[in-house]
Amino acid sequence: MPRYLDTKHRAVTTFQRRIGNPLLKRLPWQTLLETTGRTSGLPRRTPVGGRRVGDSFWLVSEFGDKSQYVRNIEADPRVRVRIRGRWYHGTAHPLPDDDPRARLRLLPRLNSAAVRVLGTRLLTVRVDLTD
């Protein structure tokens, strides 16, 4: 990864970890993705933007396999997603062959714009919901 992209990744993730995510997690309408920490085994909740389509929830990770939640999914794909205040269990699948920029056009506009601007390695993730 070029040096400027690595710097951008560090700056954005530091802001998200210290300011953005703690605030967003408290909002009752915010969609959350809950993974299991690959080292700790503890639940990890991350605010995400995406859209439910039938029995699947779609999102695009702005940092691909460098995102902590994607790394957690790779270790254990069982997740939960809070959509409009209700929790759903599911199995997450990173989709490297999907076109994440095309996928963003199908997802909520504001979040998609932020992912496009801030992201350095876009990766589509599909969660197959089981309940």
pTM of the model: 0.83
Q: Find out whether 95 and 124 touch, Cβ atoms under 8 Å.
A: yes
Task: Look at residue 9 and tell me whether its pLDDT is greater than 70.
Answer: no
d(CA 70, CA 15): 18
Q: How confident is the model at residue 104, as a pLDDT?
A: 95
Kindly report, residue by residue over 44-70, the tens digit of the pLDDT. 999 999 999 999 999 999 889 989 999
Please tell me the distance from the alpha carbon of residue 113 to that of residue 131, in angstroms, as a whole number. 30
Is residue 94's pLDDT more than 90?
A: yes
- Contact between residue 58 and residue 126 where contact means Cβ atoms under 8 Å apart: yes
CB 73 within 8 A of CB 125: yes
Residue 25 has pLDDT above 80, yes or no: no
